Amino acid sequence: MRAEQIPDRNIGMEMVRVTEAAALAAARWMGRGDKNGADKAAVDAMRLMLDTVAMDGVIVIGEGEKDEAPMLYNGERVGNGKGPQMDVAVDPLEGTRLTAMGRPGAVSVIACAPRGTLYSPKDIFYMEKIAVGPEAKGRIDLSAPVKWNLEQVAKAKGMPVEELTVIILDRDRNTEIADQVRAAGARIKFITDGDAPAAISTGIAGSGVDVMLGIGGSPEGVIAAAALKCLEGDFQGRLWARDEEDRKKAAELGLDLDRVLTIDDLVKSDDVFFAATGVTGGELLAGVEFTPRGAVSESLVMRARSGTIRRIRAEHHWRKLQGMANGR
pLDDT band at 9 (very low <50, low <70, confident <90, very high): low
pLDDT for the residue numbered 71: 82
pLDDT for the residue numbered 189: 96
Angle (deg, nearest 10), helices 175-184 and 146-157: 50
pLDDT at 2 over 50: no
Three-state SS for 74?
coil
pLDDT for the residue numbered 6: 52
pLDDT band at 4 (very low <50, low <70, confident <90, very high): very low
Cα torsion 156, 199, 150, 257: sign: negative
d(Cα 33, Cα 96) in Å, to the nearest integer? 10
Exposed, middle or buried by CB within 10 Å (0-12, 13-18, 19+), for 121? Answer: buried
Mean per-residue pLDDT for 84-109? 95
Mean per-residue pLDDT for 257-275? 96
d(Cα 168, Cα 193) in Å, to the nearest integer? 10
pLDDT at 64 over 90: no
The secondary structure of 22-62 as a DSSP string is HHHHHHTTTTSS-HHHHHHHHHHHHHHHHTTSSSEEEEEES
Cα torsion 29, 288, 195, 301: sign: positive
Amino acid at 317: H
pLDDT band at 3 (very low <50, low <70, confident <90, very high): very low
The number of beta carbons lying within 10 Å of the beta carbon of residue 270 is: 14
Q: Which has the higher per-residue pLDDT, 8 or 96?
A: 96
Please report, rounded to a whole number, the percentage of residues in the chain having pLDDT higher than 70.
Answer: 92
Which whole-number Å values give the CA distances from 264 to 99, 152, 235, 276, 321, in the listed order? 32, 20, 9, 21, 39
pLDDT at 321 over 90: no
The whole-model pTM stands at 0.91
pLDDT at 56 over 80: yes
pLDDT for the residue numbered 13: 86
- Residues 6 or more apart whose CB falls under 8 angstroms from that of 248 comprise none
Three-state SS for 245?
helix
d(Cα 103, Cα 287) in Å, to the nearest integer? 10
Exposed, middle or buried by CB within 10 Å (0-12, 13-18, 19+), for 269? Answer: buried
Cα distance from N-terminal residue to C-terminal residue, the chain = 40
CA-wise closest residue to 223 among 96, 41, 93: 93
pLDDT at 268 over 90: yes
190 forms bridges with which residues in the sheet? 168
pLDDT for the residue numbered 318: 80
State the average pLDDT for the chain.
Answer: 91
pLDDT tens digits for range 133-176:
999 999 999 999 999 999 999 999 999 999 999 999 999 999 99
